[in-house]
Amino acid sequence: MRQPKIVFFDIDGTLFTKDMILPQSAKEAIKVLQEQGVYVAIATGRAPFMFEDLRKELNISTFVSFNGSYVVADGEVIEKKPLHMQDLEKLCQFADKSEHPMVFLDHEEARANQDKHADIAESLRDLKMEYPPIDESFYKQTETYQALLFCGREEEDQYSRQFKPFDFVRWHRLALDVLPTGGSKAEGLRAVAKHLGYSMDETAAFGDALNDREMLREAGIGIAMGNALEEVKREADMVTSPVYEDGIREGLRKIGLLS
């Protein structure tokens, strides 16, 4: 097994517990990696403004955000793939007729198209995120890198069938990420590795959710958290302890980056 030179960490369920707590063992382990000269990056479905404090806390300036649609290396934007506005408008019209609310995000802020909707409130509360301001036309005024669509599992197939320019990835029982077709964290990893001069064989990635599957499969070493979904664990090269049982530290020990 080749020892990784750059390690990517998902946030929710990987660095953060379900209560949005960063275990001290994870923070200390990342600091040790950095002191040893191992490059550390984040790979998340979140928007950049949603984890700015975490980046500062961990001294990380390289990240894959929006599941690969907005990629930054050493503070420089190296890749961005906004959603196509006309296709997004068609999606919004269909969702509105189906009474499914949406939230739109660029790299700096978010806007909702409905006020005080219970599904938006519950889903974002689980991310410790406040209800966004209302602006139905926000996506027409900025580059939108991700949208959130709020509907139940039994209703999502209709979107996958009718809106081929988008991939729909569920992250909550009430919510889906809307991404450009074919977009993934794996694409972001490749962009960062190429920009920084690493091969994919020199990468490692930690994750736990459905949007981590491609990343874990394509990284040189993919490590699934012990709390990961079973289908995610099947894509990984190994499984570590759950996030709340020092899973980051244990995983780094397994791949030889910590003693």
Architecture of the domain delimited by 6-80+183-254? 3-Layer(aba) Sandwich (3.40)
Q: What is the average pLDDT value for the chain, to the nearest integer?
A: 96
CA 134 from chain centre, in angstroms, equals 24
pLDDT band of residue 2 (cuts 50, 70, 90) is confident
Contacts of 112 (CB under 8 A, 6+ apart): 101, 102, 103, 104, 120, 131, 132, 133, 134, 135
Task: Pick 85-180's CATH classification: 3.40.50.2000, 3.30.1240.10, 3.40.50.300, 3.30.70.1350.
Answer: 3.30.1240.10
Could you read off the pLDDT of 85-134 as tens digits, one per residue? 999 999 999 999 999 999 999 999 999 999 999 999 999 998 888 999 99
Contacts of 76 (CB under 8 A, 6+ apart): none
Residue 171's pLDDT is 87
Joined together, the tokens standing for residue 131 give: 């209800």
SS3 state of residue 64: strand
**Residue of higher predicted confidence among 2 and 102:** 102
Distance CA 231, CA 250 (A): 21
Distance CA 231, CA 93 (A): 33
Could you read off the pLDDT of 23-49 as tens digits, one per residue? 999 999 999 999 999 999 999 999 999
Could you read off the pLDDT of 236-249 as tens digits, one per residue? 999 999 999 999 99
Q: Centre a 10 Å sphere on the Cβ of residue 244 and count the other Cβ atoms it contains.
A: 16
Domain ranges of the chain: 6-80+183-254, 85-180
Q: Is the pLDDT of residue 1 over 70?
A: no
Give the mean pLDDT of 216-241.
97
Residue 87's pLDDT is 97
Is the whole model's pTM more than 0.85, yes or no?
yes
Residues labelled catalytic: 10
